Structure 1
Amino acid sequence: MFHQIVDWFLALMRAPLAGLRGADPVLGLAVVVLAALVLASLLHRRARLPRLLGYLLVGALASPVALGLLERTDIDPWKPLIDLAVAALVFELGTRLRPRWLIDNPWLAASSALEAAAAGVVVWFALVALGAPKASAAAAAACAAATSPVITMAAFLEARPRGQVAERLLMLSAINSVLAILAIKLWPVIAHSRGLSAPESLALLADASVVIFGSLLLGLACGVLLDRLGRLHDEAATMPVLQLALVVLAALLASAWGLSPFIALLVAGMTARSRMRHRLTVQPYLGSAGAALTVLLFISFGVLSTVHDWNALWPWVAAIVLARLLGKGAAVFATARPSGLSWRQAGALTLALQPMSSLSVLLVGDSFGWRGPLPGADPAVIQALLIATTLMQLSGPLWTLWPLKHLVGETLDDAAPARET
């Protein structure tokens, strides 16, 4: 009887949306967006939870995993807009980074590289110990090394934290994402090392080098271009339009030339900040249009949730999640005191680094098929990675904001100052 009631309720929920989708596919997604905005507002007012969590939860409920109101293919036509939302957040992240800090504090630079490497290595050992193929485990480890810069940046725009941990979180999430993208580009050399000749290996290495240095040059050029155009365009009200146009240009050129949009946009943001300084005023999400796209982005993250084959793959999923926590925590605590962090701050930073990133594959494929950027990888290992990513993305805003608020008191609505031990 209970199952019949549940089936009847699900059918009742699906029927209106199915009718809307039949009339116009956009209407179905519009209903989901409306529900996400309402739930996010309720969660924030009643439970003081991040609004981002509401967007993610509604997307997950509408996904095939739960109510099945939306299929993954339903959001494929929206991928250009979703990519634009990612691009806007990455550019804004770049404008907030201070590369000089890495020179002034070498231990911070060491911590940035060490936490990404440690997370990847520990994940690889854990997966191999549980029987995963070594090459596929390396692919999963490369992806798992990254902290989601999109969740981090969006959470920052919502809560506006300020302090040592918050600034380091931005820096580390940017650096470990760049390292993850580089590792994924080099993965074919590792995965097929025995079957590749020396010229083929050199060609793959050269291709990876072209991607990295080409992305750097494109980012520098776009940052300089924004500086020059900003001198000619002195109307503050439409400056976000100019910035958004530059973001679109950089992302499209990077994709067309086979470069990394993430690196290009990150460098463009850093270059623009370095050259323009106080003349660069970046509105949150690059304006209201970017904010609307960000809502769509996080709903899409929820729709892409997957727990398929959980019963068979849960040991690998648990290994990925726990190994990341162990690896990142060990590296952060090992460099905490030399880099100027207290133990409490190190603990907060470790927790805030946990949201996993799908960014390294999100900007590569033409659709949300996910396995395209990692051809030849074992499907079971990749599925375990996707389940782990689902879990750490859906809970990502909590991982990011809870330690910043409750452990170190760096969010604006905190009454108590940060404590050190």
Structure 2
Amino acid sequence: MIRLSHPTKSLKGKISLPSSKSISNRILILQKIYEPGLVIENLSVANDTIVLKRILSSNEHNIDVQDAGTAFRFLVAYCAITSGKWSINGTARLRERPISQLVDALRLLGADITYLEKEGYAPLSINGKKLKANQSELDLTFVDSSQFISALLMIQPMIEGEFSIKINHKMNSKSFVKLTIILMRKMGFSVEVKGAHIRVKKERRFHGKFVRVEPDWTSFYYWYSMAHLAKDVDLCMVGLSQNNIHEEKKRLFDVGNKSLSFGENGDGLCVKKSKDNKIEFMSKLNYSQFPDLAPTFAVLLAALRAGETELMGLESLKYKECNREEALEQILGMLNCTFGLEDKSWILNAENFELKSETLFSTFDDHRMAMSIAPLALIQPILIENESVVTKSYPNFWEDLQTVGFEIEYL
């Protein structure tokens, strides 16, 4: 447990954000299947990526993915096309995260996958073999997870037969399917996208020797939240650019259109507190494409006393590292805010926001919940349990906070 505070409430300095684990995990799979000699620069050191790299580098067929959900999904597809008998398991929480849609899709291609315990969940047994498409179109409109589609796209060139994948345009996080397509094109594949149909051609022209992983935009938004709550801000996010391929950059103006200013120099994205410190709020925000940002913005809106805000697209939060809907409801309740489900939207009312000094917050064993809570220390000193969970995506988070004046006392 830590006590987190910031005496001056001023944020000034350069921050090197962690590398994108979304890009890193995809590149590791593509490297393993298609380009073993590829040099990956700036690979993420997040625990999820370390777990995936270790598994892909080993000859172990009894795979423990721990709590790495992305690695789990990508490895199910990888093992399905890779000769051998595999078993995949993970933590108790990972065994609560559904995998049936991906398994069903792979079975349409002939995959031999068996549930060892509960139907639709890990652990799995997989007999890897050559898969084959018997039709020109694989209808996957029943799949609502972008990671399932990404897993299938990355192995599509290894599947016998020419076919396109038809996806559900309304799926959550579809922007990450676009990310997968961009990376496959970088690896030399021709990817056709026609409406809801995607086809990765088998032929490939790749003459590069290395690929460099960009900084992680999702991690930037913890700093974005801090910048709104600080008195004075002059930050440079090294290597971050609005030209990066991550589409999370589009959410810069969800809150406070006039309260922060953004610019770029040779080092990266610069964030400053603007002279016009007026904060503007939107009455509705949709996070269906970027659900990992929702906890950060929900806590920020509460801290800014945003009044009533409708948050949409949170359906997938219950399947994350914790049930983030329930976690947010508890955290926001501790801040004297209301957060309730009405139809398919969550309504946040922050008019009565209150943060008492040294309030103790649980992280729910979830890295994103821990980092979403941290900016509150710019208002009052707070206590955070199990702070080490941040290693899943941002191992140096607490150290980076200390470089800009946060004080951490380990209790």
| TM-score normalised over the length of structure 1 | 0.26
Q: Going by fraction, where is strand more abundant, 1 or 2? A: 2
Q: Going by fraction, where is helix more abundant, 1 or 2? A: 1
Structure scoring higher RCO (CA < 8 A, sep ≥ 6) equals: 1
